[in-house]
Structure 1
């Protein structure tokens, strides 16, 4: 039984683990968000929270109990994604059908009310004009009321059924919303110098001999063994650690997302935390931007200390990317550690909107490839070296 076995492992240790898993002769159960590891499995059990409350109760505003439900998929992660895509396409189609049915039932109920109102007016007119004996008109009125009641109940039941079917269809659609933000002020012109490192010696022994330049909206992957000095380099560039010698010069505004995610003030709300980084922004602008990071309405008023791991990551990312001045160099240190697959996908889509320079220290090769890395840097034996993409290699 392996519980998130690749968390905090460097690329080299991951390769050894992948080999061991591939060669394992017995039964293995793995809890993981590592996509490469999941390519080695035979089945995937997808544990997802679902609402067990009666659909009608949720329609009336009642809260449902959220519990885990397991769905089994044969094959590895690629097969799982393909099967899930087919399922979601069918689920979204069912939502459209259910929405159309709900609209139809609402129209029919409205038409029924209008028809009954006309009948009632006609009956009242006949009563007022006394064109028939009172006993006949009374019997006709009672029959009409009884018929109207049955008719109304029938249409209301159909409408309730349509709402329930729509709720069930919506429940089947995954709510792994994507972050979509517009960040035009983060743009860096091609060729502009963003960062310069000169004969840099870092704390704990790592160094950057000679000079290193980052230009334009390049996207740099920083890889290497644990303890090689990747985090030390990023913290030095961010100004959190002084260099032993040499210098680091950032020519544009930069922000650093550390592994610890300790950027937020736990006692402040998500909105107030973002306001700390963008003091000139109006409350409406902050909330509109946070909605794109999936903090809509009251969610923006949650205290940071109450957030889940994925929510805390999104709030921290929002605070850094919406900061003023807009960061034109963003540095991320092991951003996918402890993130589930949906959160990694959200991070990837957020970075698609980012137009500045990017440095990412990570051991997650699928993630690095998904964000469009243009240069690969290896921190090895205390030295920073540039390597070709094919030299990075992939676990066998």
Structure 2
């Protein structure tokens, strides 16, 4: 058979009984397929079921051909060597033994036909921008982005028929993302991709939308999928409005029916009281009137029930990826106010940095992995002192770090916000959290139980609602591990932010949505960049 992923009647639940899939059917053939869905919808879980890391409670998952997998959180032992991660260490050792005169048949069996393994490895590493990395080098000496590319190189060297990539752009700089995109564009087998990177998603041939434990398949790129989805959702909204109108109409007609029936009852009682006709005749008329009234009332109640069912059905077709609605006047910074000044600051033995930011400027901080972007943000947040020079922040500042380790996992969302805003009224906190989509009981959930997107939203809410209100907001790779709905919600919330922003990110598509008015590039020295 041709390479493929074949999923039939798949069901899976977590140990606590929470269902993820129930009777899922899906076939992924040759080509590039994007798997999209909100955080918690089961994208990474589905990939792990395909790899066999998880076992379904019912149904089958079959892979035709060899399988490669690059997980979202790639963890590599720092002591391992590059050739070990690439899966060629045993082959290289066997080759070295043969070159020293070894004649053991097991050595030749280990090498097989791979006599040019070093050349293949070097070619693959060069293609991914890792030409400077030696095959005997320890993995611990690599940056996070280099480790991701090394993991991808290992998969490419194995030449799998089916390749699964889970958020492969995490920790990659702009150059790394470009090389990853080139790899995806050139892939000729089966590729199943989970990503929030729009530019990468626009390289796929089809989109599989994972929602509520089921899937829908759209042909085309992600942008084409969005257009089709927007048309579909507009029609769904119209259907909801029509169904709401029908419900209102049926309610009015039922109310009118009750009024008419009440009039009939009063008229019948008046006739009975006046006894203008024989008692038997009047009793029969009363009985017939009651039967007729019951049928009439029942007809309108049935129509109202049907209208409500149509409304419920229409509402199910409308997605609930609600936008964040916030207003943050306390974060506003006047245009002429100095926000920060850096004078000849040396951070961890880097080159001296000079920088001034005034008013509500929006600054994008670019640079390769390991260039010092996180270090600079940490210094501005007061977490790291300068080795020399001066770092002066003149307004309240908050940092959203990559690890999202600002909140206490054991406390509720409300309690975490209260820690950062101790004088705020409880009702005010809850009202503001509702604008971040944490309403009612949701605001009482412990942070440790939240999904990745929910945790990000809770962290952002806590920082923006803190006392004093932050007039300088620092974000370090904020789109890492976010689904597309969460990225959109982040863009919406930052649109309402009135202070100064500095954002370190490799995601150019996301940065372009924020109205960035100043682009900086850090690579040894800090300089202006044009984007």
Q: TM-score, normalised by structure 2?
A: 0.67
**Which one is further off, 84-93 or 185-194?**
185-194
| CA distance in 1 between partners of 2:449 and 2:207 (Å) | 31
User: 1:92–1:173: 8 Å Cα contact kept in structure 2?
Assistant: yes
Verify: 1:320 aligned to 2:483, yes or no.
Answer: no
Question: Is residue 168 of structure 1 aligned with residue 310 of structure 2?
Answer: no
Q: 2:426 matched to which residue of 1? A: 283
2:336 to 191, 212, 215: 191
The answer on 1:300 being equivalent to 2:443 is yes
Q: C-alpha separation between the residues in 2 aligned to 1:192 and 1:20?
A: 46
Task: Tell me, yes or no, if the aligned pair for 1:197 and 1:208 is still in contact at 8 Å.
Answer: no
Q: Which residue of 1 aligns with 2:238?
A: 93
2:325 aligns with 180
1:103 equivalent to 2:245? Answer: no
Match of 1:208 in 2: 352
Q: CA deviation at 1:224?
A: 1.6
CA distance in 1, matches of 2:466, 2:360: 18
1:383 equivalent to 2:528? Answer no
Deviation of the 1:267 alpha carbon: 2.5
Of 269, 287, 298, the residue aligned with 1:142 is 287
Do the aligned partners of 1:329 and 1:358 also contact (CA within 8 Å) in 2?
yes
RMSD between aligned alpha carbons? 1.5
The alpha carbon displacement at 1:165 in A equals: 0.9
Distance 2:394 2:167 in 1: 39
Post-superposition CA distance 1:100-136 (Å, at most 9, x none): 1000000111111111111122222222222222222
Q: Which has the larger radius of gyration?
A: 2
**Aligned equivalent of 1:63:** none
Partner of 1:273: 416
- Find the aligned partners of 2:298 and 2:480 in 1 and give their Cα distance: 55
Alpha-carbon distance, 1:370 to partner:
0.5
Q: Distance in 2 between matches of 1:75 and 1:281?
A: 49
Shift of 1:142: 1.7
Corresponding residue SS for 1:207: coil
Partner of 1:12: 175
Deviation of residue 36 (structure 1)? 0.8
Structure 1's unaligned 5+ residue stretches are: 50-67, 390-396
Matches within 5 A, 1:1-396: 1-49=164-212, 68-203=213-348, 205-209=349-353, 211-380=354-523, 382-389=524-531
Runs of 4 or more above 6 Å deviation: none
The C-alpha deviation readout for 1:53-105, integer Å capped at 9, x for no partner, is xxxxxxxxxxxxxxx22222221121111111111111111111111100000
Query: Could you list the per-position Cα deviations for residues 179-238 of structure 1 after superposition, in whole angstroms to 9, with x for gaps in the alignment?
Result: 1211112112223221111222223x43334x2211221111111222222111111221
- What is the aligned residue count? 368
Q: Provide the C-alpha distance between the structure 2 equivalents of 1:295 and 1:107, rounded to a whole number of angstroms.
A: 35
Q: SS at the partner of 1:221? A: strand
Paired with 2:446 and 2:190, the residues of 1 have a C-alpha distance of 43
Q: Which runs of 5+ in 2 are unaligned?
A: 1-163
How far the C-alpha of 1:338 sits from its partner, in A, is 0.7
- Once the two structures are TM-superposed, the CA of residue 303 in structure 1 deviates from its matched residue by 2.2
How far, CA to CA, are the matches of 2:352 and 2:293 in structure 1? 85
**What is the rounded CA distance, in whole Å, between the counterparts of 2:528 and 2:338 in structure 1?**
18
